[in-house]
Structure 1
Amino acid sequence: MTATTFLPELTARAEGVAHTRTPTCSCGAGGILADRPDGTVVRHADTVAKAHAPDADAAGLIRRLALASHLPDVFLPPLGPAPADLHGRLVTFWPYGIPVDPDDPDAAPWEAVGTLLALLHRAPVPESAPVMRGPRKAARAVAGLHAIGPHPAVAPVLAAWATLPGWARAEAPMPRPAALCHGDLHLGQLVRVPGGAWRLIDVDDLGVGTPAWDLGRPAAWFACGLLEPQEWGRFLDAYRAAGGPALDAAGDPWAVLDVPARALTVQTAARTVTKAVADGRPLDEVDHALVDACRRIAAVLAESAHESST
């Protein structure tokens, strides 16, 4: 199987499911929504097919699909309880939802993000729920740095990674109390459904873990200067107003968010440096902001360690 044959077959699967759902399908909008090593997503009319990563675990994915199905006020529900097989890749099917407009950051639904996360974190945790994979994903991103060879951005990213506790590097169990967590929260994981409500998508990392992890990426963006204080405040206020358990109703959130924010800063920096090297391009402004944030993380922790020893 090659990419030139896999994509048409995946698209045909999406078309088949769409026609089952709507026999009078207009066969309008369609095409490739994403094509990355960790997932390929195609659309036919109101149906989306996702081919998961080649190493995706079928049993874990089935449990994650069940979680999403039982949380229809939080997740876009899957169109079936189990993945299909396509040349050894696990494929799931979903209704199409309208994504956040990347060209209109002012319209980002930060209140919806905070509310959905709070609802997810407050949901009952089934005994069968898998472990949230966020720290494992961060560790994989950092491991990818070792394959790119000498690059001036690698050292500061690895130095920042070394400041993290073992649980944030997937080397130890996550601290309790645990909750259901998305595991890879960012604005690309939201879609608007008919009627105008927002829902979360992408269950690949969904599971039981430390809920503060889900707040870590917006916290990292804010700390790096990539998220305005107003948007950050809207997100935190909505999470707290909806009873999100990761934060107290008042007080400094950074006591809880410091480690996840550092971990996700490092993960994002590792990914962007790896991609820049693979594309043969210099780091752009956002890339430099992330690497500089890693330098500050390492420097602050080194200074703190020095003060503790004197």
Structure 2
Amino acid sequence: MTADVLPALTAGARTAAHPGDTACTHHDSVLADRHDGTVVRHGDTVAKAHAPGTDRAELSRRLETAAHPALTGILLTPLRPKPVDLHGRLVTFWPYGTPVDPETPEAAPWEAAATLLARLHRTPAPAPDGLPAMRGPAKAARAIARLRAAGPHPAAAPVLRAWAALPAWARAEAPMPAAGTLCHGDLHLGQLVRRPAPAGPWLLIDVDDLGVGVPTWDLARPAAWYACGLLPPDEWTRFLTAYRRAGGPAVPADGDPWPALDVAARALTVQTAALAIAKSVGEDRPLDEVQQAVIDACDRMGFVPPELVHDPTA
């Protein structure tokens, strides 16, 4: 984040929280400051500066979707219907919600996440012709580009082999098959908040990757973690069971879910491994145990071809 944008973003959050000359005693806080976005909070208002180069028209359509009455109770509703310009960055404004506490993994809201996903997937996309594609595969492709740009690394070869074995749609090199479902695009527990804070119902946040696409992608991260041994079986079962009970269309109502999930879970595994290596090179440090487990999973993928290579919804 450039030094001149953060103060301006904070000032924008204050103005949105207190129009006019309203007295203010709230503190400012930086909730996130990453290359793909910076988020600040002032009172009950949150301002997000989106990644440089974010497409205004696409972000506007995503905001309109989040504000649509059909998504009430599923997606957090933005405070303003359009992004604003701030020092060359697009900024959006949101009500504050209480995030998932990473220090209490036993209380992780897997059932709530799965139920919200199922409801999202079952909701017809408002103005589907105007809503952009879900950006999940594009994010995976960017992770691979980052890996290649990082320079040589001994762990890169199995990751690139696993990537090359994926179907073209999962590498963002072809349109997604049967891509008419409203999808979040980047589901993980950091994408849930309670609103009203601190103990209201859970809602999904972050519309940067929202769009129409293949719904299995939204289940892919927990599926990949489970397959890599990073998510305990009982937590995966809780998530999958809740999704099915809520009528989620990404997997069959019963039986083996993996023929549907396999390609997307592989793609998320490769994406995670690619980012781990790129960060390791950039920070000049060795891979940790968790990162190595994901890379080892990529290596194993080379021995078992993807179960589905064309249509994961078949």
TM-score, length of structure 1 as denominator length: 0.94
Matches within 5 A, 1:44-59: 44-59=42-57
Deviation track 1:43-71 (CA, whole Å, cap 9, x = no partner) reads 11111110001110000000000111111
Which residue is equivalent to 1:64? 62
> Which of 194, 215, 224 is the matching residue for 2:219?
215
Which residue is equivalent to 2:109? 109
Which residue is equivalent to 2:311? none
Which residue is equivalent to 1:15? 14
CA distance change for structure 1 residues 270 and 22 in 2, over 3 Å: closer, same or farther?
A: farther
Provide the identity percentage: 66
Which residue is equivalent to 2:254? 250
Shift of 1:4: 1.8
Matches within 5 A, 1:20-31: 20=19, 23=22, 25-28=24-27, 30-31=28-29
CA distance change for structure 1 residues 234 and 13 in 2, over 3 Å: closer, same or farther?
A: same
Matches within 5 A, 1:190-209: 190-194=192-196, 195-209=199-213
Which residue is equivalent to 1:237? 241
Instruction: Output the aligned Cα RMSD.
Output: 1.5
C-alpha separation between the residues in 1 aligned to 2:239 and 2:11?
39
Shift of 1:196: 2.1
Report how many aligned residue pairs link the two structures: 300
Matches within 5 A, 1:148-159: 148-159=150-161
Task: Note if contact 2:100-2:190 (Cα within 8 Å) is conserved in structure 1.
Answer: yes
TM-score, length of structure 2 as denominator length: 0.92
C-alpha separation between the residues in 2 aligned to 1:281 and 1:177?
39
C-alpha separation between the residues in 2 aligned to 1:40 and 1:24?
26
Deviation track 1:222-276 (CA, whole Å, cap 9, x = no partner) reads 0011111111011011111111011111110001000000000001111111112
Letter of the 1:56 counterpart: T
C-alpha separation between the residues in 1 aligned to 2:237 and 2:23?
45
Which residue is equivalent to 1:38? 36
CA distance change for structure 1 residues 182 and 249 in 2, over 3 Å: closer, same or farther?
A: same
Which residue is equivalent to 2:162? 160
CA distance change for structure 1 residues 21 and 263 in 2, over 3 Å: closer, same or farther?
A: farther
DSSP 3-state at the match of 2:13:
helix
Letter of the 1:232 counterpart: W
Q: Note the residue ranges of structure 1 that are not aligned, 5 or more in a row.
A: 303-310
Task: Note if contact 1:79-1:93 (Cα within 8 Å) is conserved in structure 2.
Answer: yes
Task: Note if contact 1:18-1:25 (Cα within 8 Å) is conserved in structure 2.
Answer: no
Shift of 1:24: 5.2
**Structure number having the greater helix percentage:** 1
Letter of the 1:295 counterpart: D
Matches within 5 A, 1:80-119: 80-119=80-119
Matches within 5 A, 1:166-177: 166-176=168-178
DSSP 3-state at the match of 1:3:
coil
Shift of 1:21: 9.7
Which residue is equivalent to 1:307? none
DSSP 3-state at the match of 1:300:
coil
Match status 1:225 vs 2:225: no
Shift of 1:15: 1.0
C-alpha separation between the residues in 2 aligned to 1:13 and 1:26?
16
